[in-house]
Amino acid sequence: YYKHSNMNSTLLQLNKIAERFSSNENQDELAHDLEALLVALHESDLMAENKPEGLSSLVKERSDFFFDISKPREEYFIPTGYKEFDKELSGWRKGELAVIAARPGMGKTQLMIDMAVRIAKQGINCGILALEQNKTSVVNRIISNLSYLSQVTVMKGVFNSEEKDKIEDALNKMQQLPIWIVDQHIGSAILILERCKQLIAEQKTEVLFIDYIQLIGTIHRRNNRETELAIITRMLKRLAVEQNVVIVILSQLSR
């Protein structure tokens, strides 16, 4: 009943949006309203499909995990490559949404690149969604990270013999890193979710980095920005849980 009722409501709203489109209403407003409707529909479908489960069945699943050695054991944590962090927290937990927040110019993106490289060196597939930079800029940062040369030096592309050897070594190492980069400059929340799902399905990525959350487009202009970011964060958290992956988002803090 719930799903049927919700579908009727959705069809009514879609018809209203279609009528507004035929009357040449502002296209940006229509796009935002349609996106908000898609988000609401997605959430209601999840509610309809998420059935309660008895504790006894959940206990059985945990019992098999603890005591049945014939059952495959799933890895719940992904080491970040930072020894102290991994020692204290065991790394990133699958199904987790993590936020790296700092003021502008504090090195968030460089930390993200370094973490992605460290994780990829373990053979774990990573995805980077760069909303502010293009792919070349991200690649230059990775080269700088692996060669220990400054980003300015890498960008200029003029090297002495020692620097050239470091660059060649870095490029060879990069060939082995399972990192996929998307420079998604259209930062619609729905498009970001679809890009994430695409990376998970096609490239088997287990860790996704998004740089950065404030560049993800609003879902509905009538909401304030804090509400928008809360909705976007909730969507990304749900995706991490559904796909059993780690999503790390960067966030700008006000100066």
What percentage of the chain carries pLDDT values higher than 70?
Answer: 73
Task: Give this prediction's pTM.
Answer: 0.75
Question: ω before 212 within 30° of 0 (cis)?
Answer: yes
Helix-strand-coil split of the chain, %, nearest 5 = 60, 10, 30
Lowest mean pLDDT segment, chosen from 25-39, 68-82, 95-109, 136-150: 25-39
**58 has pLDDT over 70:** yes
Residue among 204, 239, 210 nearest 125 (CA): 204
Amino acid type, 87: K
Mean pLDDT of 91-119: 92
- Nearest-angstrom CA–CA distance, 64 and 73: 10
